[in-house]
Structure 1
Amino acid sequence: MSPTTDAIDSVLLPTDGSDGALAGARRGVDLAATADATVHVLSVVDSSEIEGVASVLESDLDEQRAALEADAESAVESVATMVRERYPELEVTKTTERGTPYRVIDRYVDDNGIDAVAMGTKGRTGVRRVVLGSVTENVLRTVDVPMLVVSPAASDSPLTEDTVENVLLPTDASEGAAVAVDWGLALAETFDAMAHALYSVDVSRFPPQMEPDEIFSGLERSRKDALEGVRERARDRGVSLTGTIAAGPPARVILDYVDDNDIDLVSMGTHGRSGLERRFLGSVTETVVRNAELPVFCVPMGSE
């Protein structure tokens, strides 16, 4: 069954009180409002840096722990207040926990049946850091639900039918890309937006002895295989679609296409699993997430 935004009944907004966290929370609550989902706001106290300093007196440790917990509670309340002010009809659950941030977030997703997560890409640094930054990438590697990732440089424009006009669906014909394309079409349908299917091939990976005509003939075959299925699924949903093939490093092609075509939202897949069942974040997705100045909806393989 193809995914729909109706499948999102709950959205988790991790926060550490930073501007980066707030950027993720704002777009996450837009997604929750679109799906009429409940909102969970979570802040994780990571006191490992303090407790690892043996020279600190126990009384000082207690004071630092209390300060971190107060920061976490303030961060949660700030986001909850934002949610209530913008979408008073949404139900909000507030939680603070201790532990390793990405592990706590992953466990919270599983324990509470969360359907999507929204996070910023930048957070606090130093001793008073609570959640974000590199933690966002760790969460991307571990959670089994779609994740909306938002750069602080992204526009403050909300994700609504009035503002989302173009949704980009990068594809390489892999299973992971196909799942992300389905989610992207669902988002385009919800926002009544134009879907852009983009297939890119890094021509530097072709054997040097291949003639240009051979390369572009191969690209044309790949384009047809990758884009025809997208067209069929778009037609089934009644979504307007444009398809493009491009040559070059995929991440750079995607980022350039975003800039050149007024893209408002990207939906792309993370790839497979590696090691001890840890999700492996594809290098293309990682590069796009780090550099895109717009929300990126990251979909793990197996998401429905």
Structure 2
Amino acid sequence: MPPSTLHHLLCLVDFSALSHRGLEIGAELARRWKASLIAFHGVNLPGDVVYGSDYSYSRPKQHRLLQEARDRMASFLQGFPEVTGRVAEGEPVESLRAFMQQEPVDLVIATTRHLHGIRRWISGNLIERLIRHIDAPVLIIGCHPQGNGRGLLDVRHITAVTLPDERHHRLISTAIRVAKEFGADLELLHLLETPLDIESEPYETAQTHLERSARKRLKETAIRLGGDPDRIRTTVLEGAPTTVLPDFLDRTPADLVLVGVRRGIPLKPAVIGSTTETIIRRCGGCVLTLPIS
């Protein structure tokens, strides 16, 4: 996802102050990359509560809600003459998927609040559906108390959570291109699981060999894909993502974190515990997710 291929940006908005910040960042990126920008809002209309269907029995009420959303969009976009507003009927993720079948979208921009308890579960569920079922990179802009406040375009340190194999070449290549675009340092992070077979040698020895091999392969892959060896660092962490990632992100804050997401995986009732969800929740900067086949 090099900037030269980002011609059509889309920002999800809910007319909140946080989504206004996302729109500001989207507009700045669109100007920087000479791309178009759409502000998109899905109106989840009420269904028939008697028969439990999605079909609303009150068309006048539907029209009124849609018109109210269009009016709010027009007001929301004041000061952004270059942004096109689109209001669609339906659940936000589903209506966006339908829209993207008709219109090209190279990057989706979304905002998320770092909430707790049931409010965080609901918000996270929406973000999880978005990144797993939208066939495009998603830039997630959070509102985290540990954020550095410098703004997105002042990106100095990028972390890419990746693997040293071909499935992640696109992610590593994207991280390299984004780092060059912003003149940022790049850290390639690999999460290492416990060795499956440690009978042939002591556990510590086997783990050390795996870590060295992973770091070497990551560095070689990055250089082969065009990375600057002087501005790339490789880090290997041992342990479960939910255990080691929070501490790492606290100790090594990044302005932007890249992570791959497998699309189309059925979601469990609770999404807490996934690598991506942990990163979104704990990262003080922004998160860019890329679909991984």
> Which band: TM-score by shorter chain?
0.7 to 0.9
Pair 1:234–1:243, CA change in 2 (3 A): farther
Q: Structure 2 CA distance, aligned partners of 1:262 and 1:197?
A: 13
Mapping 1:182-261, distance limit 5 Å = 182-203=173-194, 206=196, 211-235=203-227, 240-261=231-252
Distance 1:133 1:208, change over 3 A: same
Compared CA separation, residues 200 and 134, structure 1 to 2 (3 A): closer
Seen in structure 2, the aligned counterparts of structure 1 residues 232 and 175 have a Cα distance that, compared at 3 Å, is closer
- Of the candidates 38, 41, 44, which is equivalent to residue 42 of structure 2? 44
Q: Deviation of residue 248 (structure 1)? A: 2.3
What is residue 127 of structure 2 aligned with on the other side?
136
Asked if the contact 1:268/1:296 (under 8 Å) is kept, the reply is yes
One-letter identity of the residue aligned with 2:292: M
RMSD: 3.3
* TM-score normalised by L of structure 1: 0.77
Q: Match for residue 53 of structure 1?
A: 49
* CA contact 1:17–1:71 (8 Å) conserved in 2: no
8 A contact 1:121–1:149 mirrored in 2: yes
Q: Is 2:18 the counterpart of 1:29?
A: no
Contact 2:11 2:37 in 1 (8 A): yes
Q: Which residue is equivalent to 2:291?
A: 300
User: For residue 9 of structure 1, what is the aligned residue in structure 2?
Assistant: 7
Moved more, 189-198 or 238-247: 238-247
Matches within 5 A, 1:63-82: 65=62, 68-81=65-78
- Indicate yes or no: 2:169 matched with 1:178: yes
Q: Is the 8 A contact 2:132 2:262 kept in 1?
A: no
* Counterparts of 1:169 and 1:152, CA distance in 2: 20
- SS of equivalent residue, structure 2 residue 233: strand
Q: Is residue 2:109 matched to residue 1:113?
A: no
In 1, the alpha carbon distance for the partners of 2:149 and 2:65 equals 28
Judged with a 3 Å threshold, the aligned counterparts in structure 2 of structure 1 residues 255 and 174 are, in CA distance, closer, same or farther, namely: farther
Q: 3-state SS of the aligned residue for 1:111?
A: coil
Check 1:206–1:77 CA distance in 2 against 1; reply closer, same or farther (3 A cut): farther
Contact 2:255 2:286 (C-alpha < 8 Å) held by counterparts? yes
Compare 69-78 and 263-272 and name the one that shifted more: 69-78
Letter in 2 for 1:37: A
Q: Deviations over 1:53-106 (max 9, x none)?
A: 239xxx995675456325522443354235x2xxx6xx3221111023211111
The change in CA–CA distance for 1:93 and 1:132 in structure 2 (over 3 A counts) is farther
Identity of aligned residues (%): 21
152, 170, 189: which one pairs with 1:159? Answer: 152
Measure, in 2, the Cα distance between the counterparts of 1:71 and 1:238: 53
Q: Which residue of 2 aligns with 1:93?
A: 84
1:120–1:132 Cα contact (<8 Å) kept: no
Query: Helix, strand or coil: the match of 1:245?
Result: strand
**Partner amino acid, structure 2, of 1:41:** A
Q: Tell me, which stretches of 5 or more residues in structure 1 are unaligned?
A: 124-130
Q: C-alpha distance in 2, partners of 1:217/1:296?
A: 31
Structure 2 contact 158–187 (Cα < 8 Å) conserved? yes
**Partner of 1:151: helix, strand, or coil?**
strand
TM superposition shift of 1:293? 2.9
Q: Secondary structure at the match of 2:225?
A: helix
Residues 20-49 of structure 1: CA deviation (Å, up to 9, x unaligned) = 4334333333332332211001111101xx
Tell me, in whole angstroms, the C-alpha distance in 2 between the residues paired with 1:290 and 1:262: 13
User: 1:126 aligns to what?
Assistant: none
C-alpha distance in 2, partners of 1:29/1:18?
16
Pair 1:265 & 2:263 matched: no
Change (3 A) 1:252 1:78: farther
Equivalent pairs, count: 274
